[in-house]
C-alpha cells in the first residue's frame, strides 16, 4: 500500500503529534498505545477500520498482542470476556446487529467484573429495513446491563475515550464501552493531537487483580440457588456506586496529563436569556455548537457519560443555572414507551425538579441533523409551558411527497 | 479571480466548503483528506457515507475555517464553493453542480473545452477550470491516478493552501518516491490549469443550503411507505432492483464482441457475474450469443480471459489528450 493509515503508531510516539485521522483509525491508534494483550472482534460496518488498523499494527510487529479471528460477535465477546477474566487487557468492537448478537454474553462481563473495553460505532438496528447508517442503538437495548458507557462528539474525543475507557474499566472493574456516531465520526477525517506513549503508559498502568489461576481453582458463573442470587446482584449494585467518581477522577488525571479537560456533563452558554438549553450527546453537540454561534439565546448540555447516568450532576447543573426548559435531541425511538430511551434517563433525573422538556427524535438511520431541526425545535419550545400531552415528536420525517411532519415550509 | 488575501480574510469568520466527485478507487477521499492535512486552520473531511464500490460514482466533502466552532459541526456539505470532478464521464451521470452557489467554481479533469462543459452542466453563473490531469498522471506517475493532480488546479483557483503546504501533507502520507512524483505532477497541474472566469465571485457569507433539503421532499412519505418495510415490485412506489443501476459506467474498458469469431461456446455467459452477456434463441431452437449489455457490464474482463477463441476484446473508455482551450484565449479577465 502506498498509504499507511496506521504509520504513526508503528513506532514509539515521543511527543504530542497533531495529525488528521478518521475516528476508527484514531481508536485503533489509541488502543495500540494502551498496549492490549488480546484483540478479538468481528467486522461490521461502520466499525471495521478500528480492528483492521489494529491488525496492521500487530502484523507490523509494533504491538505484541494476540489478534484473534472469530466467527461471530457472540464468539468475540465470549472470547474477550474470558481473556479479560484470565488477566489480559482486552479490546473488542462492534455495532448494531453485532451488538445484539453479543447480548447473551454482555451481562456476564459485568457480573464477572472484567475490565474489558469495547468500541461501538453507533448504527441503526435493522427494523423495518436494513440500514448501515447512524442511530443510537446502544441506548435502545442492553444499557441497563451495567456496562459503563462514554459517548464521544468528535475524533479527538473518541481517541481519548479509548484511553479513558481502559482507565475507568481497570479502576472500577466494570467493562466500559465507548461510543461514537457511525460514519459521522467513524469515517470523518478530523484533526487530532496524539498523546505520547509514555503518558499513556503512566495513565494506564497494568496492575494486579483477581484472575483465573490454576493455583487457586474456582468456578466462574456457576449456578446458584435463590439463597444466593439476590446477594450477588446487590453486591454489584453497591460496586457500581463509586463508578461515576472513578470516571471523574480518570477525567481529572487525563486532563492533568494532556491538557484536555472532560467531565461527566459538559455545558455551554447555560446562563442565557431564554433559560432554555439543548440536551444531547455525541456528534450532534458539534452541530449545535456551530449553530449557537448565531443563536446565542440558548445553551447546550452535553452528556459524556451515558452509563452510569450522572443524574445528580444533571440536577445540580439545571438547578444552578435556573434552566426552565430543556430540548432533548436523540437518535433513537421507543415504540412502546412514553419517551425514547435517552430521554427516559433524563426524565427520571429531572423528576424531582419538574423541569419542562420535550424530546425530539432526529437523525435516525443516518439522516442529517441540521440547523433546520434546531430552529424548529427552539421555536416549538417557546410555546410549551407544561408537561401535558405527548412528550416526544419525530423531526425531519416526510409525511407525504410534499409535507414534512410538524413543519411549515 | 480570488486573491489569497481575500480567501484568508473570509476563512476567519466563515467556512469554505469543497466537494469532490470521483469513482471508487480513484482516490477522491484521499484528495479531500489532503485538503484537511494541508490547510493551516481547522478542517473536516467526510466521505459520502455508505458503501463505496470500485468504479461507482463517489462524493467526498471538506469544510475549512479558522473558527473551530464553525468546523465543529458534523452537518453535511450542501452548498460547496469549489467542486472538483476527477472523472469527466461523471459530468453526464451525476449532477456535479448541485448546490454550487452563484460564482462557485467547477474544476474538471478533462480535455474538453470550458464552453462544452458549460453546455453539459447547464450553468452559466459558475466559473470553470479544467486540467487534463489524466495526461499528466500518465506522463509523470505512469498511472491513471488523478486525485493529487486535481488539487493543483484547486490551489490555482482557490488559494486555500499553498503548494508548499500541500507538499508537506503529501510527504506525510505517501512514501518517498511516490510523494516526489505527486508533487512534481501537482506543480505541472498548477501551471497547466485552464481558467474560464465568468467574473462572478461567490458570496461566502451566505450559506446556500435549501431549508429541509436533507429530508428530500418528492420521495414518498411514511404514510405511502407503510408496508412493513417491504417494497413490492408491482407497486413501484420507489425504483427497486439492482438491474436499474447503470453499473455500465463503473468500468474502465469498453468490451467488444466479434460475432464472426465467436463459436457460441457460452463460457462467457456462465462466468459473467452481472448477466451482461446477452443471448437469444435462434430458429434452430438453440441459444446463441447476441452481444454485450453495456448498461450493466462493469468490465471485469472475466469473459475476455475465458474466451477460447479471442472473440472478446477491450478498448479503454477515456484516453489522454491535450488541453483544448489554452488559458490566454478564453476568459482569464
> What residues contact A161, with CB distance under 8 A and at least 6 apart?
A27, A150, A152, A178, A180
Per-residue pLDDT for A395 more than 90?
A: yes
Distance separating the N- and C-terminal Cα atoms of chain B: 8
Across the range A94-109, mean pLDDT stands at 95
Q: Does domain A265-394 have CATH number 3.40.50.920?
A: yes
Q: Give the Cα separation of B49 and B61 in Å (integer).
A: 10
A 157-216 residues inside an 8 A Cβ radius of B = 181, 183-185, 187-191
Give ipTM to 2 decimals.
0.88
Across the range A114-140, mean pLDDT stands at 94
Q: Give the Cα separation of A160 and A171 in Å (integer).
A: 17
Per-residue pLDDT for A1 more than 50?
A: no
Q: What is the pLDDT of residues A367-387, one digit of tens each?
A: 999 999 999 999 999 999 999
Would you place residue B333 in the very low, low, confident or very high pLDDT band (cuts 50, 70, 90)? very low
pLDDT at residue A357, rounded to an integer: 97
Give the ranges where A42-140 is alpha helix by DSSP (H).
48-60, 73-85, 96-102, 106-111, 137-140
Q: Cβ contacts (< 8 Å) between A409 and chain B: which residues?
A: 211-212
Q: Give the Cα separation of B63 and B113 in Å (integer).
A: 29
Per-residue pLDDT for B324 more than 50?
A: no
Cα B182–chain centre separation: 19
pLDDT at residue A284, rounded to an integer: 96
Q: To the nearest whole percent, how much of chain B has pLDDT over 70?
A: 94
Would you place residue A99 in the very low, low, confident or very high pLDDT band (cuts 50, 70, 90)? very high
Per-residue pLDDT for B1 more than 60?
A: yes
Would you place residue B318 in the very low, low, confident or very high pLDDT band (cuts 50, 70, 90)? low
Same fold for the pair A7-257 and A265-394: yes
Q: Give the Cα separation of A310 and A141 in Å (integer).
A: 19
Q: Cβ separation of B74 and A287 shorter than 8 Å?
A: yes
**Closest CA–CA distance from residue B252 to any residue of chain A (Å):** 21
Per-residue pLDDT for B321 more than 70?
A: no
Q: Cβ separation of B49 and A283 shorter than 8 Å?
A: no
- Identify how many contiguous H helices and E strands chain B contains and give both numbers: 10, 11
pLDDT at residue A3, rounded to an integer: 63
DSSP character string of A155-220: HHHHHHHHHHHHHHHHHHTS-EEEEEETTTTTT-EEEEEEPPHHHHHHHS---------TTS---S
Residue of B nearest to A407 (CA): B212
Per-residue pLDDT for B300 more than 70?
A: yes
Q: What is the pLDDT of residues B235-286, one digit of tens each?
A: 777 776 677 788 888 887 889 999 999 999 999 999 998 889 999 999 999 9
What is chain A's mean pLDDT, rounded?
Answer: 94
Q: What is the pLDDT of residues A359-368, one digit of tens each?
A: 999 999 999 9
Q: To the nearest whole percent, how much of chain A has pLDDT over 70?
A: 99
What are B328's three cell numbers?
Answer: 490566454
Per-residue pLDDT for A101 more than 60?
A: yes
Pairing, β A276-280 against β A325-330: parallel
Across the range A291-298, mean pLDDT stands at 94
Q: Give the Cα separation of A22 and A180 in Å (integer).
A: 11
Q: Give the dihedral sign, CA B214/A23/B170/B135.
A: negative
Q: What is the pLDDT of residues A240-259, one digit of tens each?
A: 999 999 999 999 999 999 99
Per-residue pLDDT for A176 more than 90?
A: yes
Q: Cβ contacts (< 8 Å) between A397 and chain B: which residues?
A: 215, 221-222
Which residue, among A286, A291, A13, has the nearest Cα to A155 in the 3D structure? A286
Which residue, among B57, B38, B39, has the nearest Cα to B48 in the 3D structure? B57
Q: What is the CATH number of domain A7-257?
A: 3.40.50.970
> Closest to B33 (Cβ–Cβ): which among A189, A286, A368?
A189
Cα A346–chain centre separation: 16
Report yes or no: A403 at the B interface, CB cutoff 8 Å. Answer: yes
Would you place residue B227 in the very low, low, confident or very high pLDDT band (cuts 50, 70, 90)? confident
pLDDT at residue A295, rounded to an integer: 94
Domain chopping of chain A, boundaries = 7-257, 265-394
> Closest to A293 (Cβ–Cβ): which among B69, B75, B214?
B69
What residues in chain B have their Cβ under 8 A from chain A's Cβ atoms?
A: 30, 32-33, 36-37, 42-47, 49-51, 67, 69-76, 172-175, 178, 209, 211-212, 214-224, 228-229
Q: What is the pLDDT of residues B144-187, one digit of tens each?
A: 888 999 999 999 999 999 999 999 999 888 877 889 999 999 99
Q: Cβ separation of B30 and A3 shorter than 8 Å?
A: yes
Q: Give the Cα separation of A200 and A35 in Å (integer).
A: 9
Q: What is the pLDDT of residues B93-140, one digit of tens each?
A: 899 999 999 999 999 999 888 889 999 999 999 999 999 998 999 899
- Whole-prediction pTM value? 0.91
Q: Cβ separation of A367 and B215 shorter than 8 Å?
A: yes
Q: What is the pLDDT of residues A307-357, one digit of tens each?
A: 999 999 999 999 999 999 999 999 999 998 899 999 999 999 999 999 999
Domains and CATH numbers, chain B: 4-215 (3.40.920.10), 242-316 (3.30.70.20)
Q: For testing the chain A interface, which of B12, B42, B49 should be mutated: the one with the most A CBs within 10 Å?
A: B49
Phi, psi of B25 (to 5 degrees): 105, -15
Q: How many residue contacts between A and B have a Cβ separation below 8 Å?
A: 124
SS3 A256: helix
Per-residue pLDDT for B323 more than 50?
A: no
Across the range A293-297, mean pLDDT stands at 93
Per-residue pLDDT for B328 more than 70?
A: no
Amino acid at each position: 500500500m502506498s498509504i499507511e493509515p496506521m504509520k504513526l503508531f508503528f513506532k514509539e510516539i515521543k511527543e504530542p503529534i497533531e495529525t488528521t485521522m478518521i475516528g476508527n483509525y484514531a481508536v485503533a491508534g489509541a488502543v495500540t498505545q494502551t498496549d492490549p494483550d488480546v484483540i478479538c472482534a468481528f467486522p461490521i460496518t461502520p466499525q471495521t477500520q478500528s480492528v483492521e488498523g489494529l491488525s496492521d499494527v500487530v502484523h507490523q510487529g509494533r504491538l505484541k498482542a494476540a489478534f484473534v479471528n472469530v466467527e461471530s460477535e457472540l464468539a468475540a465477546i465470549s472470547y474477550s470476556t474470558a481473556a479479560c477474566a484470565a488477566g489480559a487487557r482486552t479490546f473488542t468492537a462492534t455495532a448494531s446487529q453485532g451488538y445484539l448478537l453479543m447480548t447473551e454474553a454482555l451481562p456476564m462481563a459485568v457480573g464477572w467484573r472484567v475490565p474489558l473495553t469495547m468500541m461501538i460505532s453507533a448504527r441503526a438496528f435493522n427494523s423495518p429495513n436494513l440500514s448501515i447508517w447512524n442511530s443510537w442503538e446502544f441506548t435502545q437495548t442492553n444499557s441497563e446491563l451495567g456496562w459503563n458507557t462514554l459517548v464521544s462528539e468528535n475524533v479527538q474525543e473518541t481517541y481519548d475515550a479509548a484511553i479513558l475507557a481502559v482507565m475507568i474499566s481497570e479502576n472500577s472493574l466494570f467493562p466500559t464501552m465507548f461510543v461514537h456516531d457511525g460514519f459521522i465520526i467513524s469515517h470523518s477525517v478530523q484533526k487530532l493531537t496524539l498523546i505520547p506513549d509514555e503518558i499513556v503508559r503512566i495513565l494506564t498502568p497494568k496492575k494486579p487483580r483477581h484472575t483465573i489461576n490454576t493455583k487457586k481453582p474456582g468456578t466462574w458463573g456457576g449456578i446458584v440457588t435463590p439463597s444466593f442470587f439476590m446477594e450477588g446482584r446487590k453486591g454489584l449494585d453497591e460496586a457500581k456506586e463509586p463508578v461515576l467518581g472513578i470516571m471523574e477522577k480518570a477525567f481529572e488525571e487525563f486532563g492533568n496529563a494532556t491538557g484536555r479537560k472532560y467531565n461527566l456533563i459538559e455545558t455551554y452558554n447555560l446562563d442565557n436569556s431564554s433559560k432554555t438549553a439543548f440536551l444531547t450527546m455525541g456528534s450532534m453537540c458539534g452541530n449545535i455548537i456551530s449553530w449557537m454561534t448565531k443563536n446565542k439565546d440558548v445553551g447546550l448540555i452535553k452528556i459524556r457519560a451515558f452509563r452510569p447516568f450522572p443524574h445528580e450532576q444533571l440536577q445540580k447543573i439545571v438547578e444552578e443555572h435556573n434552566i426552565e426548559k430543556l430540548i432533548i435531541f436523540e437518535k433513537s425511538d421507543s415504540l412502546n414507551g412514553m419517551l425514547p430511551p435517552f430521554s427516559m434517563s433524563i426524565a427520571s433525573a429531572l423528576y424531582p425538579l419538574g423541569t419542562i422538556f420535550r424530546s425530539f427524535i432526529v437523525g435516525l438511520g443516518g439522516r442529517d441533523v441540521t440547523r433546520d431541526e434546531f430552529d424548529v425545535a427552539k421555536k416549538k419550545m417557546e410555546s410549551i409551558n407544561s408537561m401535558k400531552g405527548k412528550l416526544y415528536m419525530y423531526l425531519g420525517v416526510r409525511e407525504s411527497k410534499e409535507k414534512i411532519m410538524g413543519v411549515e415550509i | 479571480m480570488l486573491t489569497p488575501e481575500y480567501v484568508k480574510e473570509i476563512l476567519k469568520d466563515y467556512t469554505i466548503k469543497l466537494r469532490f466527485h470521483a469513482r471508487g478507487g480513484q482516490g477522491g477521499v484521499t484528495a479531500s483528506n489532503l485538503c484537511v492535512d494541508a490547510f493551516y486552520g481547522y478542517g473536516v473531511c467526510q466521505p459520502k457515507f455508505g458503501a463505496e464500490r470500485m468504479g461507482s460514482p463517489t462524493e467526498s466533502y471538506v469544510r475549512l475555517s479558522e473558527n473551530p466552532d464553525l468546523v465543529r459541526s458534523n452537518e453535511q456539505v450542501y452548498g460547496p464553493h469549489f467542486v472538483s470532478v476527477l472523472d469527466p464521464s461523471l459530468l453526464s451521470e451525476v449532477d456535479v453542480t448541485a448546490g454550487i452557489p452563484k460564482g462557485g467554481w467547477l474544476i474538471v479533469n478533462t480535455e474538453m473545452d470550458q464552453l462544452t462543459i458549460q453546455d453539459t452542466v447547464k450553468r452559466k453563473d459558475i466559473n470553470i477550470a479544467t486540467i487534463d490531469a489524466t495526461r499528466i498522471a500518465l506522463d509523470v506517475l505512469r498511472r491513471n491516478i488523478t486525485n493529487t493532480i486535481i488539487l493543483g488546479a484547486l490551489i490555482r483557483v482557490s488559494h486555500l493552501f499553498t503548494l508548499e503546504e500541500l507538499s508537506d501533507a503529501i510527504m506525510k502520507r505517501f512514501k518517498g518516491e511516490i510523494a516526489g512524483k505527486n508533487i512534481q505532477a501537482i506543480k505541472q497541474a498548477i501551471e497547466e490549469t485552464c481558467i474560464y472566469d465568468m467574473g462572478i465571485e461567490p458570496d461566502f457569507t451566505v450559506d446556500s443550503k435549501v431549508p429541509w433539503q436533507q429530508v428530500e421532499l418528492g420521495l414518498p412519505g411514511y404514510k405511502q411507505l407503510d408496508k412493513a418495510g417491504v417494497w413490492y415490485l408491482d407497486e413501484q412506489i420507489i425504483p427497486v432492483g439492482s438491474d436499474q443501476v447503470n453499473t455500465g459506467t463503473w468500468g474502465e474498458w469498453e468490451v467488444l464482441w466479434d460475432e464472426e469469431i465467436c463459436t457460441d461456446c457460452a463460457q462467457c455467459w456462465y462466468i459473467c457475474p452481472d448477466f451482461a452477456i446477452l443471448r437469444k434463441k435462434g430458429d434452430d431452437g438453440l441459444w446463441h450469443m447476441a452481444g454485450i449489455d453495456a448498461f450493466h457490464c462493469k468490465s471485469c474482463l472475466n469473459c475476455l480471459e475465458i474466451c477460447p477463441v479471442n472473440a472478446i476484446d477491450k478498448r479503454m473508455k477515456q484516453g489522454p489528450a491535450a488541453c483544448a482551450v489554452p488559458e490566454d484565449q478564453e476568459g482569464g479577465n
